[in-house]
Amino acid sequence: MDSKLVEPKYRDQITRQLGDDLSRRSLIGTIVYLLIWAALMLPSMSELTNRGHNTALLICTAAVLTVSVLRLALVLFYREKAKKLNTPSLWPLQLGVFTSGAVWGLICYYLISTPAFADCTMSLFVATAGLCAGGITSLAPSKESVSIYLFTLVTPLAAGLLVADVPRATSIAWLFSIYVCGLYAISGLHRREYFSALNTKMKLVEQTERLSQLNTIDPLTGLKNRRFFETQLSYEFKRAVREESSIAIILLDLDYFKAINDQFGHLIGDECLKEMARTISCQLNRSLDIVARYGGEEFAVILPNTAQQDAYLLADKLRQKIEHMSIKVHAKTVQFTASFGLSTIIPTINDSEIELLSQADIALYAAKNNGRNRVEIFDPDSSASFDLVCQGAV
């Protein structure tokens, strides 16, 4: 791969894409390779009366079939490697190109240099010209593959012209040289266009991912937003069902936030939310834990594969951290607390993430009702919990 045509940050992705494209094209090329040989030699075999010559063509046919099977095996081998490695080497594909080109070239040399096959000469040149054009078009993204293919395909053909008594051999050699050089030059144009298109594609993918990320970020706190939280909760809940593992949700709400806004202003209220967001994020040490701003002064945390006791200890640790936080405003210090609602479950297929979220919300209302600045765990046996929701709604 020509590194000058590829932006360094996209190198791994483009190398993988190149391998995928070449493997697909190699499959098509192998089929065309076989069909061209069949169209070229089957009529000749029926016309030849010499048994030895027919045997020679059968051997050539066997060689073409063998190299085609080998090339298919190399393509499959590459694809298996691609499943395990991010950027597998292209050598299996290039080896397939080398063997198919070399076998065809050597067969051409034999047929051209054998007088009994003189009638096949023109057909061989036409077929080889077609293989050159098709091969160059499909292999153009890989400069190495193009060079290998042309060299192995054309060099034995040129040698056959030199040793055989072919009419106008010099003219044919010049025409073929000009033709091959033209194809090689065109392959360079194809290669630049190919990598230019891939670079553009990677940039678009990168920009799309960046926009997608921005659409899931809360602009004030920098945390994930409610939309992302709900999507991720659904995913983690289904995974917990599959793995029969526990999942916990913590909902927390800043106490008396309206009073802070009324007394100190909304800018200070925003600073309180930012500081609270930073504190929560710093206490979540696992990459699979998710914290989001759920709305207003309310935050939500998803804790996959977490038992109730561990989730409670984390929630209470957060509560204590927030309780000891302060924000200085001129000569005054703003301190605040938060209330926590916790719900955990080892879900089954009959449960839902909405129910789990509702339970955490009920526990949060209980924390508010029981004096704030505390952690409440959802109690499914307490009917009073449901009354609290109704009171809060009123």
Domain definitions of the chain by residue range = 3-211, 226-393
H/E element, 253: strand 247-254
Q: What percent of the chain has pLDDT over 70?
A: 93
Alpha carbon 247 to chain centroid distance? 28
pLDDT of residue 381: 66
Q: In this structure, what are the phi and psi dihedrals at residue 256, rounded to the nearest 5 degrees?
A: 55, 40
Strands 298-304 and 290-295: antiparallel
Q: What percent of the chain has pLDDT over 90?
A: 44
Q: How many CB atoms lie within 10 A of CB 60?
A: 20
pLDDT of residue 119: 77
Mean pLDDT across the chain: 86
pLDDT of residue 356: 94
pLDDT of 380 > 90? The answer is no
pLDDT of 372 > 90? The answer is yes
pLDDT of 236 > 80? The answer is yes
pLDDT of 391 > 60? The answer is no
Query: Quick one: pLDDT band at residue 2, thresholds 50, 70, 90?
Result: low
pLDDT, average across residues 249-277: 91
pLDDT tens-digit profile of 160-186? 877 777 777 778 888 888 988 898 899
In sequence order, which ranges of 48-141 are alpha helices (DSSP H)? 51-84, 91-113, 121-139
Sheet holding 375-377, edge to edge: 290-295, 298-304, 247-254, 338-345, 375-377
pLDDT of residue 314: 94
pLDDT, average across residues 325-331: 80
pLDDT, average across residues 37-43: 81
pLDDT tens-digit profile of 135-151? 888 999 998 899 999 89
Cβ proximity of 75 and 27 under 8 Å: yes
pLDDT, average across residues 297-320: 94
Q: Which two tokens stand for residue 388?
A: 């609290």
Span of 176-190, 228-242, 301-315 with lowest mean pLDDT: 176-190
pLDDT of residue 116: 78
Q: What share of the chain is helix, strand, coil (3-state, %, to 5)?
A: 70, 10, 20
pLDDT of 69 > 90? The answer is yes
pLDDT of residue 321: 93
**Strand, coil or helix: 300:** strand
pLDDT, average across residues 32-60: 78
226-393, CATH topology level: Alpha-Beta Plaits (3.30.70)
pLDDT of residue 7: 81
pLDDT, average across residues 17-31: 90
Amino acid at 226: R
CA-CA-CA-CA torsion for 152, 153, 154, 159, nearest 10 degrees?
A: 70
pLDDT of 385 > 80? The answer is no
Query: Quick one: pLDDT band at residue 15, thresholds 50, 70, 90?
Result: confident
Query: Quick one: pLDDT band at residue 1, thresholds 50, 70, 90?
Result: low
pLDDT of residue 393: 38
pLDDT of 291 > 50? The answer is yes
